Structure formats: structure tokens, C-alpha cells
């Protein structure tokens, strides 16, 4: 298995109530309808104050993952945005993302700037104010946009065709996690095939909620955050192999697991195969020249790895029956970790989840940790 993350080259959010304002260096991204907040009545009238987010990842990074790490089209890709703040979210709502049609500039503004910064994308413009307006009429084939009233703009995006669907959605309920983890595999594959040019994602509420009467505010950490939660594009694929030849698998839950080649630190460019060995806690004595306590066994085929951030106690790579499955060869179990997909200067704990018979175990030893360094 493999899990690999890349991080944005740029992001921003655009505001209908301030059509020329840039927020390219803000620490959050907003997906919002601030209806009822009279921010700028002369420009906005009685319309809701809509905010949409733009996030772009390097084409070279995407193509490198697919060509040199995955090596096939058998992968999933998820756009992940981590919630910073939410207010008045409906009991049930849906967030959409689409591939942006046409280039845009990030800029250097923040929403708190006074006077406003207008050197990058905004509701009305792809770049600096007055330089290149978002198309609002006469769209190219399979391209659209949306706005309401006299505040034109809001971005443009591909809608697809009868054979291509780049729309991605995620639905939320009252009790669900409010982080965005949206399947964008179709869009990523279209970019890789050069069906569309990669200009990133636009993330928005549906039109009815954006331009409706409800006040909805959701904010997510941006690439400029000072937290460990920047947006990411997460690839997952199955590279596991299970080819036991000289060792057998454990048959009971009475065993000990160790990582035989763990190191204290890894540079953030490292790719590393962690080796996992199991042995019976009380092995059966046999006639052999070496200690029976050195007899290695493999974990079952229902065994998976995970990574936890030690400081926050959050799972950075969660157990996944499709994508974090342990491999095995004649020596032991193993799995691969790409260190450049992890936040540097953090400590991570290695974890194992395995099922033996009808018993599922989580193996968590605080000594099994490492640090990623720049």
C-alpha cells in the first residue's frame, strides 16, 4: 500500500462583497454565504456575501506521483481541507469542487488588509484588479460560472460533457466530521491526461445555498497557516505484496511485534521500508541450534499500518483496508513511507492493526516513533 500527499503551490478565496479584494496570503480559506451581514450595501445591494476558495497543486508534482510512485491509473486522489471554524452550518449541506478553467494569480493580500490589497485574484478578476476579468457570459464549451445581481465574477470552471464528469461533492450531516476530504480522482486523471489544463480547484457551496437566505460560514486552514493543517492532495494506491515462503503467519493473538529497522530521524526526502517482525510470546520448543525466540513469523493478511502525530494524538495516516495493507516476503512484513508527504519537524508514532481469527488488535508502542527533519 501507499499513501502520499502533496501540498498546494497557491491558494486564495474570493469575496462577492469586495469584488477587487485579494486574500492570497490569508491563513484561512472560506466557503461562505454571509447573508444578512450588510458589509457593503452600495456595491452588494441585498445579495448574500459569497466566498469561494481556490486551491492549486503543481502539475509536475501530480504527474510525478502518478508516473514514478503509483505507476498506473489504479489510484484515488482526495482534496483535503481542514476545518478552522464553522458557524450556522445547516443540518445537511453539500460542498462542491470543480477544476478551474483558466489561470489565476494568488496575490499577497489578506482579508484584514486596510486598504484592500488587489494584486491577485478576486471575485471580479483572475489577476490584479482590472487586469483580466473572469468570464461571465459567452462561456466556452463545458465551462460555466455563477453569480447573482450586479456583482459579476466568481470564477469559472469546467462542467464536463456526456463522457467526462469533473464535478466532485461531499455531503455533510449534523454529526459528521466537517473537514473536507473529497474524492477528486476524475479531475486529477483528466489533468494528467491533459484533457483539461490544471488551474486548480474552486470549492463552493451549491448555488441555492450560496445565494439563498441562510447565513453559512465554513473556514479552512490555507497553505499559509501556522498550524500543521495546510490543504493537501492525497493519493492512495495498493502496492502491497504478500509472498511468504520460509516463514509462517501467527495463528493466535499471543505474539510480540517489533520494528527491526526504525531510526530516530528521517530527512523529508527519504523513502523508507519499515520492517515488522512478529514472534510467539511463548514459542514451542523445538530441536534447533538457535533460540526459538528468534523464530520470525508474519502477521496475517488482515494487517494494516498507521501513523499518529505524537503531539496532537491525531492519525496522520489512518488504517485503511485498501491502502495501508502490510506487505510480506520471506523475511518479514514491511511497508513503505514517503517522508516528503509528512509535515517536517514533527514526531510520528508507528502503529499496527491486525486481525487474528475473530480478534482485532491495535499494536501501539510509544517507543516506535521517528522524526521527520528538513
Q: What is the residue-wise DSSP string for 246-264?
A: S--B--SS-EEEEESS--S
How high is the mean pLDDT of the chain? 90
Stretches where the chain sits below pLDDT 50 are: 38-45, 292-293
Q: What is the pLDDT of residue 41?
A: 46
Query: Parallel, antiparallel, or unpaired: how do β-strands 76-81 and 180-183 relate?
Result: antiparallel
For residue 115, say if its preceding peptide bond is cis, omega within 30 degrees of 0. yes
Provide CATH code, domain 255-373. 2.60.40.10
Query: What pLDDT score does 302 carry?
Result: 95
Give the pLDDT confidence score for residue 42 in this predicted structure. Answer: 45
CA distance 131 to 193: 30
Using alpha carbons only, how large is the chain's radius of gyration in Å? 24
Question: What pLDDT score does 208 carry?
Answer: 85
334 to each of 56, 118, 147, 241, 303, how far by Cα in Å? Answer: 34, 51, 52, 9, 11
* Alpha helices (H) in the chain, listed in sequence order: 41-44, 59-64, 185-192, 207-210
Q: What are the tens digits of pLDDT across the range 292-349?
A: 445 788 999 999 999 999 999 999 999 999 999 999 998 899 999 999 999 999 999 9
Amino acid at each position: 500500500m501507499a499513501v502520499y500527499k502533496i501540498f498546494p503551490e497557491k491558494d486564495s478565496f474570493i469575496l462577492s462583497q469586495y469584488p477587487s479584494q485579494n486574500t492570497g496570503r490569508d491563513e484561512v480559506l472560506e466557503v461562505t454565504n454571509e447573508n444578512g451581514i450588510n458589509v457593503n450595501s452600495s456595491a452588494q445591494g441585498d445579495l448574500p456575501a459569497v466566498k469561494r476558495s481556490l486551491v492549486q497543486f503543481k502539475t509536475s508534482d501530480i504527474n510525478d506521483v502518478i508516473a514514478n510512485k503509483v505507476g498506473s491509473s489504479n489510484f484515488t486522489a482526495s482534496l483535503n481541507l481542514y476545518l478552522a471554524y464553522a458557524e450556522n452550518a445547516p443540518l445537511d449541506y453539500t460542498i462542491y469542487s470543480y477544476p478551474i478553467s483558466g489561470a489565476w494569480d494568488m496575490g499577497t493580500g489578506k482579508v484584514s488588509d486596510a486598504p484592500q490589497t488587489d494584486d491577485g485574484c478576486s471575485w471580479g478578476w483572475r489577476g490584479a484588479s482590472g487586469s483580466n476579468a473572469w468570464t461571465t457570459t459567452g462561456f466556452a464549451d463545458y465551462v460555466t460560472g455563477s453569480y447573482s445581481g450586479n456583482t459579476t465574477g466568481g470564477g469559472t470552471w469546467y462542467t464536463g460533457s456526456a463522457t467526462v464528469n469533473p464535478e466532485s461533492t461531499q455531503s455533510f450531516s449534523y454529526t459528521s466530521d466537517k473537514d473536507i476530504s473529497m474524492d477528486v480522482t476524475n479531475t486529477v486523471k483528466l489533468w494528467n491526461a491533459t484533457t483539461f489544463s490544471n488551474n486548480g480547484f474552486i470549492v463552493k457551496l451549491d448555488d441555492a445555498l450560496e445565494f439563498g437566505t441562510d447565513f453559512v460560514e465554513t473556514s479552512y486552514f490555507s497553505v499559509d497557516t501556522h498550524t500543521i493543517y495546510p490543504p493537501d492532495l492525497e493519493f492512495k494506491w495498493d502496492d502491497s505484496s504478500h509472498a511468504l515462503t520460509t516463514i509462517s503467519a501467527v495463528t493466535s493473538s499471543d505474539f510480540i511485534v517489533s520494528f527491526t529497522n526504525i531510526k530516530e530521524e528521517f530527512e523529508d526526502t527519504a523513502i523508507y521500508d519499515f520492517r515488522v517482525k512478529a514472534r510467539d510470546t511463548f514459542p514451542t520448543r523445538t530441536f534447533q541450534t538457535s533460540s526459538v525466540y528468534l523464530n520470525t513469523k508474519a502477521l496475517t493478511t488482515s494487517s494494516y499500518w498507521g501513523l499518529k502525530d505524537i503531539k496532537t494524538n491525531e492519525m496522520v495516516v489512518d488504517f485503511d483496508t485498501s491502502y495501508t495493507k502490510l506487505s510480506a516476503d520471506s523475511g518479514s512484513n514491511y511497508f513503505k513511507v514517503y517522508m516528503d508527504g509528512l509535515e517536517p519537524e514533527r514526531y510520528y508514532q508507528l502503529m499496527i492493526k491486525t486481525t487474528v481469527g475473530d480478534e482485532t488488535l491495535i499494536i501501539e508502542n510509544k517507543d516506535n516513533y521517528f522524526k521527520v527533519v528538513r
